[in-house]
């Protein structure tokens, strides 16, 4: 049981690492294509990779925070009437 969990964790980690690599590759490919930066140093590439990897590894936490905010907003809006959310305009639109 523990081995299966470790294997799943390793597969997930490997896919996060592969995804981070692909994102960084695509990013720098676009940067080079657009000509925004003439030289790329190793630190820039490593920092971009580690940033992407960190974001991928924290995606569940970030999604949880976003879902919490959306739920709170939905609860707040559920107390408003349709007229408060979408006020009716009495004037007819002018077509030119």
2 band by pLDDT with thresholds 50, 70 and 90: very low
48 neighbors 15 (Cβ within 8 angstroms): no
Residue 32 clears pLDDT 60, i.e. is over it: yes
pLDDT in tens, 37-94: 666 777 888 888 899 889 988 888 988 999 999 998 888 878 777 777 677 766 666 6
Place 24 in a pLDDT band, splitting at 50, 70 and 90. confident
- pLDDT average, residue stretch 10-17: 67
Q: CA triplet 31, 35, 37: central angle to 5 degrees?
A: 70
């Amino acid at each position: 049981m523990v081995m299966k969990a470790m294997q799943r964790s390793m597969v997930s980690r490997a896919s996060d690492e592969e995804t981070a690599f692909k994102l960084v590759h695509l990013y720098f490919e676009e940067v080079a294509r657009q000509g925004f930066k003439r030289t790329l140093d190793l630190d820039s590439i490593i920092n971009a990779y580690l940033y992407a990897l960190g974001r991928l590894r924290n995606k569940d936490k970030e999604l949880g925070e976003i879902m919490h905010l959306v739920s709170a907003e939905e609860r707040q809006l559920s107390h408003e009437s349709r007229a408060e959310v979408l006020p009716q305009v009495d004037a007819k639109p002018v077509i030119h």
